[in-house]
Chains A and B, each alone.
Chain A
């Protein structure tokens, strides 16, 4: 409280009481709104996964807490699981929540450049959440045409039987895009213009860099899909024929518009996760980041290449084989900068003084698990192999080996790392480690069997495998995957217990519990409105990863970005 009083003049303006939390323009409060909404949606999406995995393991039986799953409900569940986990969990948490929290704090600014647009961004996002949740309960049920929403199935209610559900799903996705365009413009402009005095481009920590690169990729890839969403909405509701081949339209056009966004979207969520993982690795290896510029340039190379790989999702959609060759080459090419980024992060560990804290465990797990996702992607990017593997569980397992490390492992790494700054309390390391192993081991037990199932020819969009006698013998693998999922969901209890326990009765967090260099650790935990007193905003004198530097002040293996050089004691 003393802190608030000290610079009370700055903290006083703005809404009071409960409005402080729902009508605030403070970037940290907006980050919390995104974070908690994203966590809630993660529980919704996780519950959906539980229900349809139960149906796959024990077809036709009543699922505890849900009941018997009908074929239409099954389709709605997988569709909304995918959409929710990508659009309403990965994006709001990785980009919006951590972007909002980290960017101003890590570049030494008191807020975003447009605080009210920031608030509007969350409000539009919240509206999209309400629309997508409501779409599950309208007559006809939720949309069941997969998160890719291919026409003609999605364009015509005579085929998908969810007239309202399909349009509401599409509207919700479009609103979500608007929210992230508003947020993205804020992030990009803030990073470009509002850095602390002295902070040059190569002094910016990786987390803000990566979130901003992700925002640019998102902004430049989502436009055609927004146009496509308008066209699809008109097809659904006005009776136009943009995607109807009988009327001069082209269903493949949607696939182009969708994947022109859909593939860069993978990198949109990957970049923030990898940026935060890199920051965590440098902090807990107590070593200067290896190859700062290499990481940055490979990220930019990945971002550029990501616009030229989309048609690898369409190898069996009837595209020209010559085009398939080109997209095979670009797709295999893009694994080069990504692999470089991951291996350079490993190089940071070499010779470091590694502290295996909970955030560090998550960060290391991210590297290991994402590598599996990346390597299996090579098989799918090669058009020859893809013809066999397309739309099998191999694709599904590959996808989850990329997105689970990004959206779940990356998020937990970031959450446990910045929790002391966000809430002013330290988390329980023992509970954190139980939660870590209880999540990462079952994750592999879920998805390795799915690779095997996919190689065995199991198609992904099947409601009941009892109808396919040749796939019957693999039922034990399906039961194993479902069992592991339930174990993993159970271990999330440890996470929530840890959060609540630490929040209420955890030890108070100092300003800089991890002895990190970046600017957010020079603010109070949690930082007040305005982050620093208005006359004491930090200045920057060096890069963010000066660990173990010989010129650092005596007795410190780190050298915060804001410490003026003259403060160092004379050496020798």
Chain B
């Protein structure tokens, strides 16, 4: 489809795609903000939830934090390659980021399977309800981001729409930042 003239204009000086991604993130911030604020208020009102939180595995959480942060690093390298017009290299870095996302999800699946087997299901208690809801919503964002990233990488490898490499990178950093909030709130606070 031919792009409308409207899409090519830039009255603010910020490219339209980047502007839109920032607004997407603004709407995401309030979604996660609402959920996490609800969790924190409940957690403060229920000191006994610390006993449930003791059931989480901080080391697995820390490993996943490392994986996700590393995947953000390759997203930055992809952006750099795209800036230099090297779509093929950008695509390679994006696929490495997708690999990080896949690792994150696989580790999380194993972690959840283990926890559910031990009886820590979403209905076990309030803490576990928030644990699965918040981390689950985040995981949905990881999966969705990885799928979109695959399309962006496919285009980038053919040298098309290289500006999208930066846009998916911005989104990916956001997913990262959400996890930076989730990790201490769900794993470290015991």
Contact = CB atoms under 8 A, between A and B. Distances in A.
B11 A192 contact: yes
Interface in A110-124: 110-116
A116 B1 contact: yes
Given A185-B23, A222-B30, A223-B27, A109 B126 contact: no
Given A109-B5, A189-B20, A537-B5, A240 B11 contact: no
Given A192-B12, A193-B12, A194-B6, A185 B27 contact: yes
B129 A224 contact: no
Nearest to B33: A223
Contact of A248 (B2, B23, B38, B42): B42
B122 interface: yes
B16 A193 contact: yes
B32 interface: yes
B150 to A, nearest CB: 19
Given A113-B20, A189-B23, A194-B6, A241 B126 contact: yes
B14 interface: yes
B1 A219 contact: no
A242 B10 CA distance: 45
B9 A193 contact: yes
B30 A230 contact: no
A227 B40 CA distance: 14
Nearest to B19: A189
Nearest to B31: A223
Contacts of B4: 109-113, 115, 530
Residue from B11, B24, B26, B130 with most neighbouring chain A CB atoms (10 Å): B11
A199 B6 CA distance: 14
Interface residues of B, number: 41
B19 A193 contact: yes
Interface string A235-262: 0001111100001111001000100100
Interface string A97-117: 000000010000111111110
Contact of A230 (B23, B28, B133): B133
Interface string B96-130: 00000000000000000000000000110110011
A82 B46 CA distance: 36
B34 A225 contact: yes
Contacts of A242: 38, 126, 129-130
Contacts of A115: 1, 4
A112 B6 contact: yes
B137 interface: yes
Given A193-B9, A238-B123, A185 B34 contact: no
B60 interface: no
B36 to A, nearest CB: 9
A237 to B, nearest CB: 11
A248 B130 CA distance: 12
Contact of A223 (B1, B16, B29): B29
A241 B123 contact: yes
A13 interface: yes
Using C-beta atoms within 8 Å of the partner chain, give the interface range for chain A: 35 or more
A27 to B, nearest CB: 9
A112 B9 CA distance: 11
Given A223-B29, A226-B31, A227-B35, A110 B11 contact: no
Contacts of B33: 223-224
Contact of B123 (A190, A219, A240): A240
Chain A interface mostly: helix
Contacts of B49: 248
Given A185-B24, A189-B23, A227 B2 contact: no
A508 B97 CA distance: 58
Contact of A219 (B14, B23, B125): B23
A178 to B, nearest CB: 10
Given A185-B27, A189-B16, A222-B30, A248 B126 contact: yes
Contact of A257 (B38, B122, B130): B38
A194 B16 CA distance: 9
Given A185-B24, A189-B20, A241 B129 contact: yes
Nearest to A115: B4
A240 to B, nearest CB: 4
B7 interface: yes
Nearest to B124: A240
A227 B32 contact: yes
B8 to A, nearest CB: 9
A248 B41 CA distance: 12
Nearest to A537: B5
A226 B38 CA distance: 12
A249 B126 contact: yes
B50 interface: no
Contacts of A224: 30-31, 33-35, 37-38
Residue from B6, B45, B46, B49 with most neighbouring chain A CB atoms (10 Å): B6
Contacts of A192: 11-12, 14, 19
Given A247-B126, A248-B46, 6 more contacts: A113-B6, A189-B19, A193-B16, A219-B27, A242-B126, A242-B130
25 contacts: A25-B1, A109-B5, A110-B5, A111-B5, A113-B6, A115-B4, A185-B20, A189-B16, A192-B19, A193-B10, A193-B12, A219-B23, A219-B27, A220-B26, A223-B32, A223-B34, A224-B33, A224-B38, A238-B123, A242-B38, A248-B46, A248-B49, A250-B45, A257-B34, A537-B5
Interface of B: 1-2, 4-7, 9-12, 14, 16, 19-20, 23-24, 26-35, 37-38, 41-42, 45-46, 49, 122-123, 125-126, 129-130, 133, 137
